[in-house]
């Protein structure tokens, strides 16, 4: 069965790192709407120009724009065997639209990465991304632990903007936990442990969700 995975969780919960790992393991694309927007900002496209100030302030880009971006991306043939969505949906309107886009595809598996708020601010403010290979690290390294490239801090990873992003998460994205909670393919995972342990927990959660979906499918 295809794996259509949504990684849900607050900023700096480790979603991006974990999403990349699971996408590699299942050989499906990692779709990060934050990365897509940052590329659009770099390229100076109309979407990038519209998103830049909102991103720097920790606010959300409009549902219409984001739903359009994701619809186009999920239309591409490389998502046929599944995908890992990282950073989408972020509102109930986006979640409803995503359900509409799924149509006859396999069901969504939703993993919520749970991390206490006080841990998140410290993590986000210490987070650096490698300019060359994209590795994300919170170690106080001068260079990337993977390839030795230069480490950069995201403009929205300073304390004031992180706190705003957490407020936005609580207001707009936390309601998605209730939106998805009753589905048999929803799985919470403890994100407040070392990355390898989180990865193991996510793998287990995904396998459990896929088995549940397959069993439910056989009953229909
Ligand atoms: P992320 O890399 O997922 O933390 O996203 C960085 C920023 O991009 C967010 O703070 C938002 O400004 C914007 N963004 C990314 N994904 C979405 C989305 N699904 N809906 C609205 N804004 C988004």
Residue nearest atom 11 in ligand 1 by C-alpha distance: 60
Q: Is the CB of 61 under 6 A from ligand 1?
A: yes
pLDDT beyond 90 at 141: no
pLDDT beyond 70 at 219: no
**Overall number of domains in the chain:** 1
Q: What pTM did the predictor assign?
A: 0.88
Active site residues: 15, 90, 127, 154, 165
For residue 33, the ligand 1 atom closest to its alpha carbon is 16
Q: Cα(118) to centroid of ligand 1, in Å?
A: 20
Query: What tokens does 11 get?
Result: 């900023």
What digits encode the pLDDT tens for the residues 120-132? 888 888 889 999 9
For residue 165, the ligand 1 atom closest to its alpha carbon is 10
In a domain, 127, yes or no: no
**Beta partners for 187?**
111
pLDDT beyond 50 at 173: yes
Residue nearest atom 5 in ligand 1 by C-alpha distance: 34
Which residues contact residue 16 at a Cβ distance below 8 angstroms, ignoring those fewer than 6 apart?
32, 34, 86, 87, 136
State the DSSP code for 158.
S
Mean pLDDT of 183-212: 96
pLDDT category at 65 given cuts 50, 70, 90 is: very high
User: Residue 177: which domain range?
Assistant: 3-115+173-219
**Top mutation candidate among 13, 31, 60 for ligand 1, by most atoms within 8 Å of CB:** 60
Q: Cα(217) to centroid of ligand 1, in Å?
A: 33
Least confident of 105-119, 133-147, 181-195: 133-147
> Are the beta carbons of 137 and 127 closer than 8 angstroms?
yes
**Is the pLDDT higher at 47 or at 154?**
47
pLDDT category at 220 given cuts 50, 70, 90 is: very low
pLDDT beyond 90 at 86: yes
Mean pLDDT of 152-181: 91
In a domain, 147, yes or no: no
**H or E segment to which residue 39 belongs:** helix 33-43
CA 25 to CA 27: how far, in whole Å? 6
In a domain, 32, yes or no: yes
In a domain, 65, yes or no: yes
Three-state secondary-structure class, residue 220:
coil
Residue in the block written with tokens 């969700």:
209
Q: Is the CB of 90 under 6 A from ligand 1?
A: yes
In a domain, 208, yes or no: yes
Mean pLDDT over the full length of the chain: 93
What digits encode the pLDDT tens for the residues 21-59? 999 999 999 999 999 999 999 999 999 999 999 999 999
Three-state secondary-structure class, residue 72:
helix
Write the CATH number for 202: 3.40.50.300
Exposed e or buried b per residue across 11-44, where buried means at least 16 C-beta atoms within 10 angstroms of its C-beta: bbbbbbbbbbbbbeebebbbbbbbebbbebbeee
In a domain, 126, yes or no: no
Mean pLDDT of 94-120: 93
């Amino acid at each position: 069965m295809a794996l259509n995975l949504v990684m849900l969780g607050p900023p700096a919960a480790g979603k991006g790192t974990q999403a990349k790992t699971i996408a590699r393991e299942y050989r499906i694309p990692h779709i990060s709407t934050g990365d897509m927007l940052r590329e659009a900002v770099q390229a100076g496209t109309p979407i990038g120009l519209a998103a830049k100030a909102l991103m720097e302030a920790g606010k959300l880009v409009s549902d219409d724009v984001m739903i359009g971006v994701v619809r186009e991306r999920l239309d591409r043939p490389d998502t046929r065997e599944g995908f890992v969505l990282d950073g989408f949906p972020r509102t109930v309107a986006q979640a409803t639209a995503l359900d509409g886009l799924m149509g006859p595809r396999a069901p969504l598996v939703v993993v919520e990465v749970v991390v206490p708020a006080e841990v998140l601010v410290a993590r986000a403010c210490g987070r650096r991304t490698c300019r060359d290979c994209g590795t994300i690290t919170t170690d106080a390294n001068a260079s990337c632990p993977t390839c030795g490239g230069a480490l950069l801090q995201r403009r929205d990873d300073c304390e004031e903007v992180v706190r705003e992003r957490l407020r936005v998460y609580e207001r707009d994205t936390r309601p998605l936990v209730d939106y998805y909670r009753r589905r048999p393919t929803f799985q919470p995972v403890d994100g407040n442990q070392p990355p390898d342990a989180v990865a193991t927990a996510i793998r287990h959660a995904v396998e459990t969700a896929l088995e549940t979906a397959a069993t439910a499918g056989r009953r229909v």
